[in-house]
Each structure stands twice: as C-alpha cells, then as structure tokens.
Structure 1
Amino acid sequence: MDSNNLSPARKGIVGIQFLFVAFGATVLVPLLVGLDPSTALFTAGIGTLIFHLVTKGKVPIFLGSSFAFIAPIIKATELYGLAGTLSGMVSVAFVYFLMSALVKWQGIKLIERLFPPVVIGPVIILIGLSLAGTGVSMAKENWILALVSLLTAVFVSMKAKGLFKLIPIFCGILAGYVTALLFFDIDLSGIRDAAWLGLPQFVFPVFSWEPILFMIPVAIAPVIEHVGDVYVVNTVTGKDFVKDPGLHRTLLGDGLACLVAGVLGGPPVTTYSEVTGAMSLTKVTNPQVIRIAAVAAIVFSVIGKISALLKSIPGAVLGGIMLLLFGTIACAGIATLINSCTDLSRTRNIIIVSLTLTIGIGGAALSWGDFSLSGIGLAALIGVLLNLLLPKEDA
C-alpha cells in the first residue's frame, strides 16, 4: 500500500487506528500515577504535533505517555506533592534539550559513551521492578478481575494476529472492565454526570528543586529509548532520519513535547514503538497519518464521558496489567544487556550493574540539608559516574 496515495478518508481511518494502538498505554500511565487521562491524551496529541513541527513534518513518530516515569512520579508525589512533582516532570525536557545540543555538537558517540548498555540496562530493570509491590497491592483488591485482565493481555500478546497483537494492554483492560460490569458493582454515576464536552483537568507545576533533581536522572532511559526508536523508524520507512532532519531535531521535538506536557499536568511523553509496529504491519508510513492520530487524541481528550469512563476502571484491573507491564519493562533492561553482549564476567561491568541495582532496589538516599536524591535517580547517577571513573579492562 502506497501511503502517499491514500485518500483523505483512508488516511483518517488509519490515523484513528494508530491512535487506537497507542490509546491503552497512553491513558494507563496517568491512571496509575493519579493524573487526568484526558490531559494525557491532550498533551500526547499536542506534543506529537510539536514534534512534527520541529522535525519539519518528516518523521512518522507518535509521542505518548512514558512508562519509564510511572515509579518516579508515584514516589515523588508521596515526597513532594503533585504540584512539586510536575516541576520535576518539566525538568525532563531540559535533559532532552541538553542531549539535543550535545548530539548537534559531538554526534551520537558522546551519548553512547555517557550511557552505554551496562548503565542503561540496570536502570531499566530498576524502573520495572521498583513498583512490583504496588502492582500486587492493586491486584489483590480483586484477584478475579486482576487475573482476567492479566490472562487476556498474555493471551493477546502470544496468540493474536495483525493489529490486535499490538494492543494487549487495551484488550486486557477491556476484558477486565467488562467482567467487572457483569459480575461486580462499579459506580457509573461519574459517567452519567459527566458533560459530553469539557476541557481536560490541567494542573500547573510549583517550582521545587527536590523533585527536579529527583526526576532528571530518570530521563536518561527514555532519551536512549528515543535514539533506538528513531533507528527503528529508519528501518521501517527505509529513510535516514538521523541525518535528515537530524537526531538533534527529534530529541528537541521530544523535549518540547515533554515541556508542554509537564506544564499542563500530563506525564512526560516518549516515542511509541507500538505505533511504529503498526506502521510496519500496515505499510502506512506517511507522517500525515500520524498527525491525524494526534488530532484525534486531542478531540477525544475534550469528550468528558471518555474521561469519566477511564476513571471508573477498577484498580484491580489496572493491577493485573501492572503485574505484566513492570515485569516486561524489567525484561527490556535484561535484553539491553544481552543484546549488547555485555560481558558480566568482567569485574568492571559487575561493579556497575551490581551497585546500580542494589542502590536502587535498596532505597539508598543521598541527603544534604533539604536536598535528597534517592531511588532510580541516585542509582542512574551512580551508574554513569562508575562508567566514567572505573578504568577499562583489557579484553
């Protein structure tokens, strides 16, 4: 199918289909961290359009809620409150801006030196495992609903064909919700009372240094994910977006999208490999189709009934999905180490991986007056420093 010759109607249908692929993951993140799912849809749509503006409309990428920030947002909200945490989420944008400038100046080699797989792998593992207890706590509210959601997501991941294979999270949530409607009591008054049209619930940040310093190191993982996803899109489209419009532009576009999301009260956004997979499956790679998906996300975000429906999803349903989701993220970290052929027989690599994991999982904290750095942020910083300071071993 030549995606450049699609009729406007076909482009619209495919664009909405792409949003459907990204929908479940995009709204799951805010539901888990206590943000408004409509705001997340709105900022995903706006962020994607900003990204396309910065990249000259050439790169077919959709930006949605980043899973990497689920655990840090929950922890930071406990420590600093939601408004303070939002200031930390805004600061994520400046990591992208810095990396964009470094890539423009030195090329991709500098990022590869600062954040090699031996650093990124254990950080991703931490992101996945840090909220395992939260997933179990939510699931045990109703193990029947949790297991229905979990088993459906597993079945779709393994057995589904075509586009359905790209939306296991959406299918799991849908199956759990339908089961809850049929066999358990769900309060639907919020849906009945919600207006059909209404703006998302924007929440604005209050500046605070602590959550900023807490959140900035976490951005290392999605920055590396961004670079990898751009190369995957290159493969799917047969073009080289690292050269034109340039990796520095894609990083800048992602950073600006994160900035807008944080200012308006949405989670940081990242490149969505689910949509890239849908492009590979449908052979539709026209960036115009991605922009249609972005506009559809904005339209959905102002339909009040949709927001109320999402908020009525039982916690146990989300808990069942979290059991699979966080484990999958941890596996991605393990795969990073394996695919890069990281040699864990070398003392240097063992030290970096071991200390990163134990500091993160053990809950170590660095405090100085009112300042505190802990968890994933501290572990990521330790990993980067060890990689730079420990001498290289001879092969």
Structure 2
Amino acid sequence: METHNLSPLRKGIIGVQFLFVAFGATVLVPLLVGLDPATALFVAGVGTLIFHLVTKGIVPIYLGSSFAFIAPMIKATELYGLPGTIFGLIGVAIVYFLMSAFVKWRGIQFIQRLFPPVVIGPVIILIGISLSSTGVNMAKENWVLALISLAVAVAVSIYAKGLLKLIPVFCGIIAGYVAAFLFYEIDFSVVREAAWFSLPQFVFPQFSWQAVVFMIPVAIAPVIEHIGDVYVVNTVTGKDFVKDPGLHRTFLGDGLACLFSSFVGGPPVTTYSEVTGAMVLTKVYNPQVIRVAAVAAILFSVIGKVSALLKSIPNAVLGGIMLLLFGTIACAGISNMIHNRTDLSDTRNIVIVSLTLTIGIGGAVLTWGNFTLSGIGLAAITGVLLNLILPQKQKSL
C-alpha cells in the first residue's frame, strides 16, 4: 500500500524502525575500516536524501554502508593512507556516473553484456573470501565472545520472525556486547567523556589518483547489486522504477551519494535490501517513510555518546559476526550464478570463473611504474576482459 494517509507520528515510528533494520550493517563497515560510525550514519542519511532528490522522491530506497568495500578500503589504507583512500572512493562515484550515462545512451542491455553472472558471481565470492582472515584474527582475541555473537546471529537469522529476522547482525552484536559487559571488562571511559552532542569525525580526502584507480574495479559488484535491488523494489511496490524515474537516475543518485561520502570521510553507500525486506513485512512503501529514516540517521550521527558506545564494542564480538557475514557474502556470489543458471560445464565459463578466483585469492599484482592493481580490482577486470574476449559457445541449430 502507498500509505500516503499515514499520520506524521506513524510515519516517524515506521521510519525509525527502518533505520533500526539498517543500523547494524551501516555502522559495522566503518568500525572495521577505521572510520567513525557516526560519519557512516551521517552520509547514509544525507546520501539517501540526495538519492531521493535525484529520483524525484518516488523510489522507496535507503542507502547504507557497502560491505563490498571493506577489504579494498583496508588494503588501500595500507597503500595510500586513510585520506588517500577516502579520495580514492571518488572512483566509485565515477563508475556510477558512467553507468548512468551508458544506461541513458544504450539501455540496461549494455551493462548486462559487460557484467554477466559469470563475471559478477566470482567477484562477489572474492569479496567475502578476502575478508575471512580478518574475521578469524578478530574473533580469536576472545573466542567465547565471538562464538556468543555468532550463535545469536545464526539463531536470529534462522528462527526469528518479522522485523527481528532482518537484523541478525544487530542482535549478535548486542548479545556479544552484553556478554562482554557481564563477564569481561569494557572500557566505558570514552563513553563517559564523550559529549552528548558532537559532529561526526570527518576525514577529508588527500589527492591520490592511484587510490582512485584501485577503487574503480571494485565498484562492479555494487553496480550489479544496485540493478538487482531496483528490480526487487519494482516487484515489491508493483511499479516500474526502471522506466520512471529511470535506472540512469537511480545510478546518478547513488553516485552523487558516494561522491558526498568521499568528501567527508564516510564509506561508499549502496542500496539496502534489508530495508526493502522491512517494507515487505510492514506493507509500507511510501518514500516519505524512507526519508524519515534518513533524517533519523543524521540525528543519531550527532549524538556523541552513540558513536563512543559503538567504538567500545570488543573486536572479538565484531569478529564473530564477520565469520558469518563474510561467508554469507561469498554464498551470495554462488547463489548469483546458480540463480542465473551459469553453465559450469562450459569451458569458457570455467576459465572465466577459475582465473577470476585464483588471481583474486592468490594476490596477483599488476605493476606499471607507480601504478599498481591487485586483489579484487585486478580479478574483476580480468573477468570482464575474458568475458569480452573469449568466444561464446555456439548454439546448435
């Protein structure tokens, strides 16, 4: 239902519920890459409002921190420093802008030809697998806390119902945090000293074209995720947002949101399917409610004690969640290929998938002067090029 007749209070309550669904995932990304979680909430809120402005305010989509960039941001920070990495995120916006222009010019078929499931599937698998060692290293700081967080997250994802089923990450973090409070020590001094109201800790970019080139290939997976989420929202609402306002506008809105994020030191944002799931459960599809969630995120971002509390979460708690989360990302890549019936008896497809995975997992590096391309970025480009170069299997008449 469109729910234009909802009272302002009812819209506010549902909007905060939607933010609650997206909250855990949104703040987890900055906690893992060394950014202020308050900044992530801020850019998620502002980015969502930018998206709605560009898409005529008719597409009920919420933008939050993208998990696809956790591993690349950690690696890029080692290579170019955090300010350089933040500048590199401009490359993500560039990809979205190009996709917007291409869709406007040639239609969605062009993107489907460039990034078929045989390319996207292994790239998504790599995003999950490349993070696995980070999750294990964080979890082993305290395996008891890690396993408590993991067990609760698994139990909620399997047995919970309604809105609770959409926030297993959030529930796992809360359970681990409570266990740490009861049986171990948590340093609350930072929370006590934090101001009730304070601006997020913005990190301003420092020019690094190498970081931009490093980030550009990583944006391939979120581009496909964006398309899929728009089609899911179409199905949920019974409308065709690919035609009106158009996929080129949704790409542009997402790109501008990522560009804003790169200016203030937030992680790249992407469409959040968790909130779409919440819309299905509540039967509320009104974009105004999504904008309420965005405003609520901005308000939470300036409550200093919230950010300080999030930073006090033990690494082991986050590590336990990561064990499940990053494996789930890898499974999403496998599911993508299965759902699209990728034929792995076809030698061409086997070559694309195997080389994409081995180059990404093996840590291959391409160096040319000061230019370096490695990891997921190099693997993604390899998959795209192989898909374009290798001949298609001839169909029998």
Matches within 5 A, 1:118-133: 118-133=118-133
Q: Which amino acid aligns with 2:108?
A: I
Tell me the equivalent position of 1:308.
Answer: 308
Shift of 1:5: 1.2
The answer to whether the aligner puts 1:64 opposite 2:64 as a matched pair is yes
Residue equivalent to 1:323: 323
Question: Structure 1: any 5+ residue segments left out of the alignment?
Answer: none
5 Å matches for 1:265-304? 265-304=265-304
Q: Which residue of 2 aligns with 1:349?
A: 349
Query: TM-score by structure 1 length?
Result: 0.99
Cα deviations across residues 267-312 of structure 1 (Å, max 9, x unaligned)? 0000000000000110000000000000000000000000000000
Higher mean alpha-carbon deviation, 134-143 vs 87-96, is at: 87-96
Q: Which moved more, 1:79-88 or 1:317-326?
A: 79-88
1:385 aligned partner: 385
Q: Distance in 2 between matches of 1:345 and 1:123?
A: 19
SS in 2 for 1:202: coil
Amino acid aligned to 1:314 = P
Q: Structure 2 CA distance, aligned partners of 1:339 and 1:245?
A: 28
- Corresponding position of 2:174: 174
In structure 1, give the amino acid aligned to 2:71: A
Cα deviation per residue 1:208-261 (whole Å; 9 max; x = unaligned)?
Answer: 121111110000000000000000000111100000000000000000000001
The corresponding residue for 2:337 is 337
Distance, in Å, in 1 between the alignment partners of 2:18 and 2:144 is: 31
Provide the rounded CA distance (Å) in 2 between the counterparts of 1:3 and 1:301.
28
Runs of 4+ in 1 over 6 A off after TM superposition: none
Structure 2 residue identity aligned to 1:54: V
Q: Which residue of 1 aligns with 2:151?
A: 151
Q: Aligned to 1:4, what secondary structure does the other structure show?
A: coil
For 1:382 and 1:213, locate their aligned partners in 2 and report how far apart those are by CA, in whole Å: 15
Supply the distance in 1 between the matched residues of 2:30 and 2:204 (Cα, whole angstroms): 15
Q: Which amino acid is 1:18 matched to?
A: F
Distance 1:90 1:386 in 2: 26
Match of 2:27 in 1: 27
1:372 aligns to what SS in structure 2? strand
Residues 364-375 of structure 1 correspond to what in structure 2 (within 5 A)?
364-375=364-375
Structure 2 Cα separation of the partners of residues 33 and 156 of structure 1: 26
Q: Offset of 1:4 from its aligned partner?
A: 1.6
Aligned residue for 2:372, secondary structure, equals strand
Q: Within 5 Å, which residues of 2 pair with 1:98-109? A: 98-109=98-109
C-alpha distance after superposition, 1:38-93 (max 9, x if no partner): 00000000000000000000000000000000110011111111011111112100
Match for 1:176: what amino acid? G
The Cα of 1:2 is off from its aligned counterpart by: 5.4
> Are 1:15 and 2:18 counterparts?
no
RMSD: 0.6
CA distance in 2, matches of 1:215, 1:150: 30
TM-score (norm 2): 0.99
Separation of aligned partners in 1, 2:10 and 2:87:
40
Structure 2 Cα separation of the partners of residues 343 and 197 of structure 1 = 55
Task: Provide the identity percentage.
Answer: 78
Q: In structure 2, the residue corresponding to 1:373 is in which secondary structure?
A: strand
Q: How many residues align?
A: 395
Q: What residue in structure 2 maps to residue 205 of structure 1?
A: 205
- Quote the Cα distance in structure 1 between the aligned partners of 2:235 and 2:4: 18
